[in-house]
Amino acid sequence: MSLDQKFEAAAQAVKGLTKRPTDEELLTLYALYKQAIEGDNNTPKPGLLDLKGRAKWNSWDAKRGTSKDAAKEEYITFAEGLMAKYK
């Protein structure tokens, strides 16, 4: 199975979790997914009143400089940990 196939399988498996991960875990998943798919964050920072948008932006921006393949590998490992914890 290729890295891309493992990544897609992990992304699908996370959607089937029976319990909801913590907000921090969800932000990490989001950041790794965005970094793996789009690369470095180059979007404008959301305004001060958009708390959810800022949290997501900051989380993704913290992964700046991580290659897409490294982000995919990290996502797979993190998702496997969540599946073991929340299934």
pLDDT of residue 87: 76
| Helices within 1-87 (DSSP H only) | 3-15, 23-38, 51-61, 68-86
pLDDT of residue 39: 97
- Chunked into runs of 10 residues, the chain (87 residues) has average pLDDT values of 96 94 97 98 95 97 97 98 91
Q: Closest Cα to residue 27, out of 48, 54, 9, 6?
A: 54
CA separation for the pair 72, 48 (Å, rounded): 30
CA separation for the pair 12, 40 (Å, rounded): 23
Taking each helix axis from N to C end, the angle separating 23-38 and 3-15, rounded to the nearest 10 degrees, works out to 150
For residue 72, what is the domain's CATH number? 1.20.80.10
Range of the domain at 70: 3-86
pLDDT of residue 23: 97
